[in-house]
A and B are shown apart, each in its own frame.
Chain A
Amino acid sequence: MRSAPRRPVRRAAGAGIAVAASIGLAACGSSGPVASASVSKKVVPLVVYSAQGYDSAVTKAFTQATGIPVSLDDDSTGPLLTKVQAERNNPRWGVLWVDGDTAFAGLDQQGLLLRGWEPKVSWNAQGQSVVPKDGSYVPTGLTMAGTVVYDSTKVSSPPTSWQDLLAPQWAHEVGMNDPAISGPTYPFVAGMMNALGGVAQGEKYFSALQANGLDVHETNGDTLQALEVGQIRVAIIQSSAGIGASLKDPAIRVAFLDPVTPIPSAVGIDPKAPPAEVAEAKQFVQFVLSPQGQQAMQAGDPHGDSLYWPVLQGVSALPALPPLASVPAKAIDPYTWGRREASLNSWFTNNIA
């Protein structure tokens, strides 16, 4: 973690105005923004808003490789997207790195992403399929939304289809996240609706699931914890969380029901950032997709977000992941479903959670 500011001079002036707070912080002996004002003219700190578990490792490797200092805001997807939206009059981020192309499509439709730029890389087939036509964001890896995770010592016959979960056998035994809070869960909800034939059919399915005692938690961690303590027997969570849990506890198994929805992790660039920072942001994306960057991604959070399927030719997934060809994945159109995110999240919170 670094403390280099994006606009040190202005920050210094601002800090001067907050007299009381500044005096107090001076007493802390903190090396805050004011203290680190000496950056070279051409190199500005790159502000990265990221929810990835490996972001700290990758940004450190990037700085080491390029000398460009990074200011990392490592947080959950929800608060980061809130900040991006609240800052829209005066954006402070240079790079946004979270899971879910529907979220990026939504930001793109609001004009909050730099369009028309693509890194020079060799995508594999899966990667190419999730690259947006307008070049507004760049995929960096794939995970699956809505994988079924269970404890094999407690569940001998796991569900084999989504309809199975509506059976009395699974009453009050199934848990999932609230898509309004957990970013990677909306693609699961949208994917189910897409697979079932539309919003109405999807709402009917989730209502039936809820009538069967669906247990809704806030995030992957909460739902997984409910599974681990035995509160539920089946958790519907993101594949990286499930596979990560299976690495810690071999009794935990992950099943991919047909279909599961791929979630690209992606990077977007702030179009209003200063030109120097935009250039650095492009350099950052290029680095992430380089062999060195992929290595850092795979080493940074080996029991969590590092468990992704690469989108580049020549890069293999970590051994814990099954071959992507064996996963019944069915992608959704991020722009179509991104437009519906607000209303469907609201519906889910109001009627299911």
Chain B
Amino acid sequence: MALLDIPPGRPAAAAPPDRWSDGAGLDGAGLDGAGLDGAGLDGAGLDGAGSRRWSVGASVAGHVGRAVRRVPPSIAVWAVVGLVVLVPVGAFLVQAISPRPFSQGSAWLTLANLRAVLGGHTAHAFADSLWVATATALAALTLGTALAFLVHRTDVLGRRVWPIAVWALLLMPTYLMADGWEYLVQPGGVLQRLGLPHAAMYHMMFGPVGVVLVLTMSGVPFAYLTMASALAGLGPELEDAARAHGAGRLATVRVVLPVLAPAMLAASAIVFAESMSDFGVAATLAFQSHFPMATYGLFAAIDTNPANFGQAAALGWLLVASAAIPIYLQTRAMRGRSYAVLSGRTRAPSVRRLGAPVRVAATAVVAVSFVVALGVPLFGAVVASLLRGFAAGGHGWSIASYRQALAAPGFLGSLVLSNQLAAVAACITVVLGVLLARMLGSRHRGRTARAADLLLLGSMALPGVVLAAGYIFAFNLPIASRLGIDLYETLPLLVMGYVATSLPSQVRLFAGPMAQVQESVLEAARVHGHGPLRSWGRTFAPLVSRTLVWAWLFTFAKTLLELPVSQILYPPGRQPISVAIGNLLGNQHYATGTAMTVVGVGEMFVVIAAVLLGFRLLAPRGWQRIGAVRGA
């Protein structure tokens, strides 16, 4: 991917050398005007992408600015985003203050729900979520930055493997990670059955520490990818310049850090929002630990009988605000800066050669991080599904639960359906994501677009169950039925729901690489006589093809085992695999449900491997080596 998973040793998509010389020379001016004003990585911004403009000279900036101005905000795209995300979210959130229109209360206007969630237990849960998300953001940023530095800027062993592990971690559902840890350390769990000490681990994991640990591990990929991009784009020149001016290691770090600051801010904001909105850990590890979190409170308000949509919506407002505020501040800090640096030319970042002992130690740090993040929970889940005691008493090992899972009526049909739905949702999300990412790159959006953007960002903090319920309110209106627009409980609406859950975070994660493509490459293609589509195909597509493949996989993986939206919106008779698993787990068929989950995750990784293999075999060579597209 352009700036997110640049394989070590491969030329990174970065500013072309001639542009670097504009501002990043050794005369200090480059440093001054570029990185040290904190503006360099603007795009990194939230958009994740470690871009920088500190080396781009004034003429280039002006050129880019003019190009950006020519990208008008597309009303059509916002209309689709409005329909898919904003309207359902709005229909849900409005019930905090006005439940009457949806027959969920008698008041046309009330503040009772907001008052209710600002005190007592829900306030406690919200405070828990806030500090956990803050701790998670800081921890994930620290670990993600360290890993990105070691993997991309040093000769640590296994440099081709670790980026794949990052992606595997990104695609891993958080509930599976939490369940894996639970199976491992709980009394009677895998560790105890294997005769290993478990008590200390149990007390540590079943509490705030465990919650922060699992959320940190799930947040590391966001931080890693953002920081890897920033580091890849940084190149050696800034450090060289500092060192040439007599700066020591510490002073060099002080020079480099401000340049990375926007990317760090971006990474923190994304991890913070993801943690605030996470439900997988809140409903498993946190719930089991008597550690209330806001998303679970929201879920409980909806899932209880009778459902309290007003209170759930009020909690939703708090979640949106908690994510939107840091993201808004971060966006505001980045405003007015261009980050289009990817023009097709490349420059490899320098790789620091470590001494043998340091190299081994660094490799160990990276390996242990991924083992803890990925290996331990996977091991817990797989072993638990094989232990007979998890099925129906007794001891020893058994694959009976896998046999039962594969023989369960409708299992294969549900799995196939979920794959189809995930694939379609991923395609739509990628297309919308590209368009939105390009629009978000524009510095000249109107107020409405900025407000919609903010709400889109805020919706990142809402758990899927909010979107699901919002979809009922927005798309099951009597008037819509009378008009023949009867989308509710159809597969198209389910796909829309999936798109809505993936789009905000995908846009945040991939907007940077998208926006880094300079308009000039498109213009050059047009000058040479290509039409708009052909220009995109010959210039834009090669530059972002890897990004698009990963973006597709990101949504596919998030969707395949998605539960809250599936549960509420699936058309009767067309049960997605996640609902089938949920029913098994809820109906006392725990081992079969767990085995089915493992099968589903395994199948997901097979699809991911197949897609990546297909890209490697079928995509033109130049597409695979971003930046090496001059001959394309």
Contacts and interface: CB of A to CB of B under 8 A. Distances in A.
Interface of A: 1-5, 7, 9-11, 13-15, 17-18, 20-22, 24-25, 27-30, 32-33, 47-49, 53, 56, 71-79, 81-83, 85-90, 92, 103, 106, 110, 151, 178, 180-181, 183, 186, 216-222, 224-226, 228-231, 241, 244-245, 248-249, 251-252, 301, 303-305, 341-342, 345-346, 349-351, 353
Contacts of B288: 217
A323 B568 CA distance: 38
B573 A245 contact: no
B378 to A, nearest CB: 19
B188 A229 contact: yes
A248 B287 contact: no
Nearest to A73: B572
A229 B196 CA distance: 15
A14 B590 contact: no
B106 interface: no
A304 B489 CA distance: 28
10 contacts: A1-B410, A14-B492, A20-B80, A32-B574, A47-B572, A71-B571, A78-B303, A181-B300, A228-B590, A304-B587
Interface in B373-420: 389-394, 409-410, 413, 417, 420
Contacts of A56: 409
Contacts of B573: 1-4, 71-73
Contacts of A1: 410, 413, 573-575
Contacts of B572: 47-49, 71-73
A53 B493 contact: no
A73 B571 CA distance: 7
| 7 closest Cβ pairs, A-B complex | A249-B393, A230-B188, A229-B188, A24-B424, A10-B486, A248-B392, A21-B492
Nearest to A232: B187
Interface string B24-67: 00000000000000000000000000000000000000000000
Contact of A342 (B104, B189, B304): B304
Given A24-B427, A221-B588, 4 more contacts: A1-B413, A71-B573, A73-B573, A301-B587
B306 A231 contact: no
A231 B188 contact: yes
Contacts of A15: 487, 490, 492
Contacts of B290: 216, 353
Interface stretch (B262-270, B470-478, B551-559): B470-478
Contacts, number: 250
B74 interface: no
B402 to A, nearest CB: 17
B487 A18 contact: yes
B535 to A, nearest CB: 23
Nearest to A186: B305
A67 B521 CA distance: 63
Contacts of B304: 78, 180-181, 341-342, 345-346, 349
B588 A30 contact: no
A33 B570 CA distance: 12
Contact of A183 (B283, B305, B417, B491): B305
Secondary structure of the B contact surface, majority rule? helix
Interface in B462-490: 469, 472-473, 476-478, 480-481, 484-490
Contacts of A87: 472, 476, 488
B448 interface: no
Contacts of A73: 489, 570, 572-573
Contact of A81 (B103, B283, B307, B473): B307
A194 B492 CA distance: 47
Interface string B253-291: 000000000000000000000000000000100011010
Contacts of A178: 300
Given A22-B492, A82-B303, A342-B304, A75 B579 contact: yes
B102 interface: yes
Contacts of B590: 221-222, 224-225, 228
B476 A252 contact: no
Given A30-B491, A304-B587, A231 B186 contact: yes
B567 interface: yes
Interface of B: 80, 102-104, 120-121, 186-189, 192, 283, 287-288, 290, 300, 302-309, 389-394, 409-410, 413, 417, 420-421, 423-425, 427-428, 431, 469, 472-473, 476-478, 480-481, 484-493, 495-496, 499, 567-568, 570-575, 579, 582-583, 585-590, 593
B574 A231 contact: no
A248 B393 contact: yes
Nearest to B417: A30
Contacts of B303: 78-79, 82, 180-181
A243 B431 CA distance: 52
Given A3-B571, A304-B588, A13 B495 contact: no
A90 B390 contact: no
B496 A81 contact: no
Contacts of A346: 304, 308
Contacts of A18: 487, 490, 492-493, 495-496
> Which of B103, B394, B570 has the most C-beta atoms of chain A within 10 angstroms of its own C-beta?
B103
A85 B486 contact: no
B485 A180 contact: no
Contacts of B428: 20-21, 24
Given A30-B417, A30-B491, A245-B588, A228 B287 contact: no
A33 B307 contact: no
Contact of A82 (B431, B469, B585): B469
Nearest to A231: B187
B283 A32 contact: no
A342 B188 contact: no
A60 to B, nearest CB: 10
B305 A7 contact: no
A7 B492 contact: no
Contacts of B283: 218
Contacts of A218: 283, 287
A158 to B, nearest CB: 17
A1 B583 CA distance: 14
Contacts of B492: 14-15, 18, 21-22, 25
A30 to B, nearest CB: 6
B586 A76 contact: yes
A212 B505 CA distance: 43
A266 to B, nearest CB: 14
A216 B287 CA distance: 8
Contacts of B567: 75-76, 79
A160 B192 CA distance: 30
